[in-house]
A and B are shown apart, each in its own frame.
Chain A
Amino acid sequence: MNLTDQEMFYKCLMNNRVDGDVFPQPNMDCASYFNETEIQPFLSIYDLENINDVKNIMDSILTEENFAGIKEECIKTILQNIISYGHVGVAEAKKNKEVTVPEFIYNF
């Protein structure tokens, strides 16, 4: 199955291991390495529906006990910044004004 870059990243995060190449390698057979732009709001990339989704991602990355502090900080800063910054998307700022910030983030 051909996974998109973002899907592969998500899989890597959830499994906390490198399943194949994390970064794409040179490919002599293709004509171009350019990516086309598309709007990928941060929230949709991670498919975040609730606070546990965020915690699960961070748990899977930072497995060591002594990184509990970083883990907490990481979750907090991501969520707080989604509120504090003007937009959360990847590309066209003005087009992302409609992105809705889930309610759970405000309550974190």
Chain B
Amino acid sequence: MIVLGISGLYHDSAAALLEDGKILAAAQEERFTRKKNDASFPSNAIKYCLKEKKIELGNVDAVVYYDNPVLTLERFIKNAVYCGEDVTDLLRFQYDNIFQQRLMVHKILRSEFGRIGKEDKLLVSNHHKSHAASAFYASPYKEAAILTIDGVGEWNTTTIGYGKETDIEIKKYLDYPHSLGMLYSAFTYFCGFKVNSGEYKLMGLAPYGSPVYYNTIMEHLIDVKEDGSFRLNLEYFDFPYGRTMIHSTFGELFDMERRLPESKITIGYMNLAASIQKVTEEIVVKLAATSCELCGTRNLVLAGGTALNCVANGKILEKGIVDNLWIQPAAGDAGGAIGAAYIGYYEYLGGKCRHIEKAYNTYLGPEYSDGEVGAFLKRNGYPAIRMKQDRADIIARMLAKGKVVGLFQGRMEMGPRALGNRSILASASDEKMQSKLNIKIKHRESFRPFAPSVLLEDAQKYFELKAESPYMLLCVPVNKELRTDFDIGNALKQNNGDMTKIVNTKRSEIPAVTHVDFSARVQTVTKEMNEKYYDILKAYAKLCGESVICNTSFNVRGEPIVCTPEDAYACFMKTDMDALVLEDYLLLKEDQPLWEARKDEGEEYELD
């Protein structure tokens, strides 16, 4: 049985194709349209998925949308009632999204693809059920507690469910407007970052500050119960009105004004970031404990946008609440497409085939053969060297020499993390590398940390890691013996709170991937998960004696991760990357013809 899952029309549209319980293909629309977090109908992603299986939409057994738009309309109406006199304005504001798009998915599909599956009928899942399915059915567990947390989906903001074999049951939930995701986004907005994409920047900013506003948040903004359930004090939030995230009282509470985007980040915003991060971690840990207790299991799976908060995820392990933790790598709305496909198979079609794999494959996107890459290079006259058996050694030697290498190989990752197939690699031991990568390569804020990839068998040499972290979704401390005596509080004091002056200060023996609080967002690499990437790390370890390198996504600020060889080459040429590996071809910057960006490429990406 073949099922197509679709998500989106709010943010991060995507599609996924499943056959007999196994995801065959999945991709985010943004990768094809080159518009970050693209919310438009995922036509390109659907076409890619269908092409992968060589099937027409009319021949699939079921097509499932990840979210029930009728329930979302119900929420919009109730929200409009709450807003009183603004009912009509609010509905006008939401009119296009709900009436022209989300409620019209079946019409859009018919118009673009003809028939909607064999029965010409669109099925719908529920938003959080889709998240839950994406986490449980993809996990390596026969039984698990399921925790989903995000901004909002239909009515729900948080759910606790129980999964066993081929069944999922949602046991408890919290409803809009009481949302941990919205609370975190409110602080994201107040600190001058973009809602729905800047949350990870706030998380990266948090270690620079102290949680001095923790009590203020807990006393005024949110009431949290022992079981992790919570309610927001709506006096401080404006998001129900659809205008901004926060009310003017929000700033008054902290005696601060909203930071203007791109302006200097002062200590107050660092402290705010640290405070909301601490609140979030506490709530997530309590919810995780409640989930396991309620379900009578110590296996826990996570999904929903908040599950991308890798620092909070790391706390769940640190507190010893669970024996096993698994997080869907596409935890946000894009992963809803995967969940919708699973729901179609297990719930609508009564599928019984469950693929319980130790290593869930998240490399589900397009790939390009060596022949296709060769033809691309020849067509454009780009000089390249064909690597053979020595491929991993050549890449390792360049990294050892401090070169920055773009790596494009195999199938593209599904989800926000680049895990070795669409990655930019560099040495982790160079203390200037964080700054170099941020400013010269990624064109982004200098304070932002980079993540390490490490051979699983050597991970504990570097990190206090209690579990595998194959999808870069756990943040853990760097081992104490590797750290310097760096202290973020003192460093900020000595530099008058100017964080830009301390990013190059050495914090450990692997400074490029050690954040200012000595934490690191680790990717453990195994041969089973990604053999070609494993070989590069292995060759690097043989050459340098270190089995950890710096891995960041192959893109610049505001740009989606590269999808095609064309995208990769353009990104390579627009930045200070030294070399590009396209499958088995090596391209050196100094060999390339002068890059004149085409008109459409010359436009800057919208800042994220």
Contact = CB atoms under 8 A, between A and B. Distances in A.
Nearest to B75: A9
B225 interface: yes
Interface string B166-203: 00011111111110000000000000000000000000
Contact of A90 (B64, B69, B71): B71
Contacts of B103: 77-78, 81
Contacts of B265: none
Interface string B194-228: 00000000000000000000000000001101110
Nearest to A36: B172
Contacts of B84: 17-18
Contacts of B233: 25-26
B577 interface: no
A107 interface: no
B123 A87 contact: yes
Interface in A66-93: 67, 70, 73-74, 77-78, 81-82, 84-88, 90-93
Contacts of B234: 23, 25
B99 A37 contact: no
Interface in B34-92: 64-65, 68-71, 73-74, 77-78, 80-82, 84, 87-88, 91-92
| Chain B: interface size category | 35 or more
Contact of A42 (B70, B178, B227, B240): B70
Nearest to A40: B71
Contact of A93 (B82, B99, B240, B343): B343
A84 B81 CA distance: 27
A74 B88 CA distance: 13
Question: Among A24, A28, A64, A85, which residue has the most Cβ atoms of chain B within 10 A?
Answer: A85
B81 A16 contact: yes
A88 B70 contact: yes
A108 interface: no
A101 interface: no
A35 B87 CA distance: 27
Interface in B123-162: 123-126, 129, 160
B121 A84 contact: yes
Contacts of B160: 34
A11 B173 CA distance: 23
B171 A37 contact: yes
A25 B231 contact: yes
Contact of B124 (A5, A33, A85, A94): A85
A61 B224 CA distance: 33
A61 B77 contact: yes
Contacts of A13: 77-78, 81
Contact of A35 (B125, B174, B225, B350): B174
Given A26-B233, A37-B170, A61 B87 contact: yes
Interface of A is mostly: loop
B95 interface: yes
A44 interface: no
A54 interface: no
A93 B125 contact: yes
B347 A93 contact: yes
Nearest to A9: B78
B82 A18 contact: yes
A34 B70 contact: no
B347 A23 contact: no
Contacts of A27: 223, 231
Contact of A31 (B82, B121, B226): B226
A105 interface: no
Contacts of B174: 33-35
A84 B106 contact: yes
Contacts of A92: 169, 347
Interface string B85-118: 0011001100100010001101000000000000
Nearest to A30: B225
B124 A86 contact: yes
B348 interface: yes
B271 interface: no
A35 B175 contact: yes
B229 interface: yes
A32 interface: yes
B10 interface: no
Question: Among B81, B91, B99, B226, which residue has the most Cβ atoms of chain A within 10 A?
Answer: B81
Interface of A: 5, 9, 12-13, 16-18, 22-28, 30-37, 42, 45, 61-62, 64, 67, 70, 73-74, 77-78, 81-82, 84-88, 90-94
22 contacts: A9-B81, A12-B81, A18-B82, A22-B78, A22-B82, A23-B82, A30-B225, A31-B225, A33-B229, A35-B172, A37-B171, A42-B70, A61-B87, A70-B99, A74-B99, A77-B73, A81-B69, A85-B68, A86-B348, A92-B169, A93-B343, A93-B347
Shortest Cβ-Cβ A-B pairs, 3 listed: A86-B123, A33-B229, A26-B223
Interface of B: 64-65, 68-71, 73-74, 77-78, 80-82, 84, 87-88, 91-92, 95, 99, 103-104, 106, 121-126, 129, 160, 169-178, 222-223, 225-227, 229-234, 240, 343, 347-348, 350
